[in-house]
Structures are given as C-alpha cells and as structure tokens.
Amino acid sequence: MKANPDDLLVLLAVSRSAKFTTAAQVLGLNHTTVSRRIAALEKSLGGRVLARAAGGWELTELGTEAVRVAEQVETAVSALGPAGQAPDPITGVVRMTATDGFSAYIAAPAVARLRRKHPGLSVEVVTMTRRALQQRSGLDIEVVVGEPQVHRAEAVQLGEYMLGMYASRAYLAENGTPASVAELTEHPLVYFVDSMLQVDDLDAPRRLVPAMREGLTSTNVFVHVEATRAGAGIGFLPCFMGNLHNDLVRLLPDDFAELLPYWMVLRPDSMRRPAVAAVVQALRDQTAAHRDALLGRG
C-alpha cells in the first residue's frame, strides 16, 4: 500500500512541533484527525513512524525516511504558486531556545531583519540557560553556553562573550569601591541561583570568590542587570549587557574577564529546511557583527 501524500504532510507537521495539538493548529485540523492520519500512514508503511519522547513525539528511523519524502511533497506543492511568482521557500515556523541575553540582543534583531524579507517566516524563541538537550523533538535550534556533548546532532561554535563584575555608581558611593578580589567578600553577589545553575561554565563567581556572600539571585540575567542597577549588590554580568548602562561601573577587569563560548546545536534534519538554514545564517551574521560588543569592547 502506498502512503497518502496528505498523511505524509501531517507527519511532517508533527515532526516539527513534536505535538499532535500544535500540528493540528498549523494544519487547521483537530487532534483526532491528526492521530487518525498518523495511524493510517503507519498502516500503509508497515511500521511506527513516531515514538514517545520526553518532549513529545520523536521520529523513528522509518519516520525519518518518511519525513524526507514529505519534504519533497511539501516542496512540490509550494512550487504551485501564482503564475509568474516564485514561492518563497523561507516560510513556516522555526523553534529555538537560547539564553535570555542572546535571545534579546542577538536572536531578536536577527529574526526581525530576516522577517522583513520573508514575512511568511515565524520564529518561536524559548529563553532558558541550560545544557543542550539529548532529545530535541520539535526543536530546530539550541543556543547554549559552553561546548555541548550531544548525540545525533550537529554542534557549531557561534562566538564568544565576556562577563565581568559590575556595580552601580550609587551603590559604590554608599558602600565604597572594592580595590581587590579580597575586598569583594565584603559585598553581596547578584547572580544565578547556585542550586539551579545547570551550566558548569557559568560558575566563575563562586570559583573565583568563593567567600562572596549571595545577595540577590535569579534564573534570569535581566534580573541580574536591573538588581545591580538598583544597588542590590555587585553583579557578575555579560559585558554586552552591563556596558549598555551608564549608571554601571565595571570593577577589577583584570581579575574578572570570563570568556565563554556560545554554541549552536541543530537536529540533523533541520538544516534541510530553508527556513531553519536562513535563521541559522542570520544568527551567525548577527553574532559576527556584534563581536566587539559581546567581548566587552567599547
């Protein structure tokens, strides 16, 4: 029995979102219809195309082969645009995760610029600071801090960024300016919640000044910046964020200049999609264009 092209396109939508409900919304169907189409496809192909995973549904080997065929069907269908008009291949939804700072200052402007040329493109950005996932169903791009150890995925280094110690001018006027690493122990630290920090490369303050007491901690780097500006303590901040604020002063730059890499992790099948490839290139271009700011220069 041959596979129904419509069923293949349903599988393609599920593979991109990892969820029947999301695929149903994209396709304008209901959850039951998506489930029925997948069951019909598995019957025609004689095997399972999807398997349960932590984040939703993941393709089996047979499903991966079926998706390759589905992409060809999608390309053929999209070519049937209005006469004389070449269809824009950079369309659809691209899903990515990245840290808060990268998402705001690199991903957001990169996507905005790309969408001006390709209005049919939609990008979902989930912000989080964590290690790369081992199962990334429904996720096209991950941007993480530190070199990831991944399987069945491609990892490439995007660039580097610098972190340093910052305090507000008002805080220093009231509490004095530390002139050495030892004097930092007299001040509270504004940084990540230690027990919830999943990225080992971000442990610099506790490694370099273990006696520095915690003042205000958060899982969000924007809270670090604003808490430091408000005088909650001395913040260990990305320089490309701290340097934007004239009310912040960088402290002891010779002692605190932590250089960390941004890495991008991609599913093997993701780069076959023109939309994903376009977003990846936009992120690379934006990172390169802002290299000096990321390194704390200027």
The answer to whether residues 127 and 97 touch, using CB atoms and an 8 Å cutoff, is: yes
Predicted pLDDT at 182: 93
Q: Quick one: pLDDT band at residue 134, thresholds 50, 70, 90?
A: low
Domain residue ranges in the chain: 5-79, 89-297
pTM score over 0.85: no
- Decide if pLDDT at 75 tops 80: no
CATH 1.20.140.10 fits 5-79, yes or no: no
- Which range, 36-45, 71-80, 140-149, 171-180, is most confident? 171-180
Find, among 9, 140, 4, 139, the residue nearest to 72 by Cα. Answer: 9
Q: Tens digit of pLDDT for each residue in 12-59?
A: 888 877 788 888 877 778 888 888 888 888 888 888 988 887 767 888
CATH number (3.40.190.290, 3.30.1330.20, 3.40.50.1370, 3.90.480.20) of 89-297 reads: 3.40.190.290
